[in-house]
Amino acid sequence: MVVFESLKTITRYRSARLIFNPCAGAFRRGGARRLARALDLLRSAGHQVEEHPTTGPGAAGEMARDLIARGADLILVAGGDGTVNEALNGMAGAATPLGVLPAGTANVLGHELGLGSLEQAAARIGECEPVRVALGLLRPSDAPPRHFLMMAGAGLDALVVNELNPDLKRRLGKFAYWVATFRLVGRRLEEFDVRAGGVQRRCGFALAARVRNYGGDLEIARGASLLRNDFEAVLLEGAAASRYLKYFAGVGIRTLGRMRGATILRSRALELSGGRAPVQVDGEAAGWLPATIEIVDDGTTLLVPPQFLAREIR
C-alpha cells in the first residue's frame, strides 16, 4: 500500500524491496556502510524496505519479477547501470515503480535524472514522482531481446564494452572506458548499414539514445529525453577508429551535428544489418548484428525527481 501526504507531497512505500549488487563500485569502495546509511535514510523517512543482494550476473531481473509477484509496491535498485537494466528486464510492463540508487561506475541514468549520490537519492525517494515512460527494445540476431531505459549502440562503443578489462574498470572506474577507446585507435571498424527516420547510412557507430548523457560526462544526444516516445539516433560514418576522436571532440564542443559524416535524427525504430558488429544496451554487451531497435510505448514506471520533470517539460 502507498500512503500519500497531500500537504508535503511525500509518498511512503510500505512494501519496498531494495535489490543491490554487492560488487557495484560504490559498495566495493564504501563497503556495507553506504548501504546501511541508505537503508537508514529510507526507513527514517517512513518507507518499509527489505534488502535483497544479487547472487550473480543476470539475477536482478528474476528477483524483481518475483518480488513484484509477491506484492512489492516499489523496486529500488542500488547498483550500476547494468544492474538497473537487469532489473528493468524483469519488470517491463509492470505497474510497480522502479527507483534508482546510483552505486556503479558511470551511473549514466543517475546523472540524467540528477539523483546525486547513493545516499542523496535514498533520502529523496519519497519526493520522486512515478512517471510512465517508453522503453527501448533491442532485438539482436544471436541473443534474447533486451529492454533498455537509456541507449542501445552498435559498432565502436559496443566494441569498447566488449573489450573493457574488468580489473581495469575496478581500479580506474569510468576512466577505463577511455583507456579502452584509445587502445582502438589505428584499428579499422566493421561497418554496417543503418536505416532510421527515412535515411540509410553506412556506419561504424550507431546509437539509439533516450538520454542526453553518454558515459556520464558527455551529452551526445542533446535532444533525447526519457519523456519522449522516440530515440535520438546518432549515426557516425567511417571505418577508421581514429576518425572518431574528431567526432567525440565535436561532442565536447557541441558541433557534432554539423560535422561531415555525422547524422542526428529522431526515429522510433532502427534497422542495423550488413556487417558483423557488436551491440550494447545501457553499457552492457548484448550480442551482434544484425539487429533491430524499437520503441515500446508505456513500458515502465520510473521514479523521477520533480526537478527532472521541470527541466524536461519546460
Same domain for 153 and 291?
Answer: yes
pLDDT, mean of residues 104-115: 89
Same domain for 45 and 80?
Answer: yes
pLDDT, mean of residues 79-91: 94
Q: What pLDDT digit, counting tens, does each position of 202-216 carry?
A: 999 999 999 998 866
pLDDT, mean of residues 238-254: 90
CB-count exposure of residue 146 (10 Å: 0-12, 13-18, 19+): buried
* Residue 310 domain flag: no
The residue among 98, 113, 99, 86 whose CA lies nearest residue 38 is 99
pLDDT, mean of residues 233-256: 92
Averaged pLDDT of the chain: 88
Instruction: Say which DSSP state 115 is in.
Output: -
The grid coordinates listed for 147 are 529492454
**What is the extent of the structural domain holding 115?**
2-127
Buried b (16+ CB within 10 A) or exposed e, 244-262: beebbebbeeeebeeeeeb
Same domain for 9 and 149?
Answer: no
The grid coordinates listed for 309 are 520533470
Quote the pLDDT of residue 8: 47
Highest mean pLDDT among 105-119, 239-253, 264-278: 264-278
Q: Are 236 and 203 in contact (CB under 8 A)?
A: yes
Same domain for 91 and 146?
Answer: no
**Among residues of the chain, what percentage have pLDDT more than 90?**
70
Q: Could you give the angle at the alpha carbon of 230 between the alpha carbons of 224 and 235, nearest 5°?
A: 65
What are the distances in angstroms from CA 145 to CA 77, 140, 304?
A: 21, 7, 26
- What is the domain-level CATH number for residue 235? 2.60.200.40
- What is the domain-level CATH number for residue 77? 3.40.50.10330
Q: What pLDDT digit, counting tens, does each position of 20-62 carry?
A: 988 776 666 656 788 899 999 999 999 999 999 998 888 999 9
Q: What is the pTM assigned to this prediction? A: 0.89
Asked whether the predicted pLDDT for residue 244 surpasses 60, the reply is: yes
Same domain for 74 and 158?
Answer: no
Same domain for 269 and 145?
Answer: yes
pLDDT, mean of residues 232-260: 92
* Residue 312 domain flag: no
- Considering 93, 127, 161, which residue would you say is the last residue of a domain? 127
**Cα R_g (the chain), whole angstroms:** 19
Same domain for 26 and 75?
Answer: yes
* Residue 82 domain flag: yes
What are the distances in angstroms from CA 190 to CA 154, 239, 272, 298?
A: 10, 7, 12, 35
pLDDT, mean of residues 85-93: 96
* Residue 142 domain flag: yes
pLDDT-derived band at 217, boundaries 50, 70, 90: low
Same domain for 121 and 157?
Answer: no
Q: Could you give the angle at the alpha carbon of 269 between the alpha carbons of 77 and 134, nearest 5°?
A: 35
Q: What pLDDT digit, counting tens, does each position of 141-182 carry?
A: 999 999 999 999 999 989 888 776 566 555 545 545 555 565
The grid coordinates listed for 48 are 518499509
* Residue 303 domain flag: no
Partners of 208 in beta bridges = 152, 233
Same domain for 9 and 120?
Answer: yes
The grid coordinates listed for 98 are 522502479
* Residue 290 domain flag: yes
Q: What pLDDT digit, counting tens, does each position of 126-142 carry?
A: 999 999 999 999 999 99
**What phi and psi values does residue 292 have, to the nearest 5 degrees?**
-125, 155
Domain count, the chain: 2
Cα 77 from Cα 79, distance rounded (Å)? 6
Same domain for 90 and 176?
Answer: no
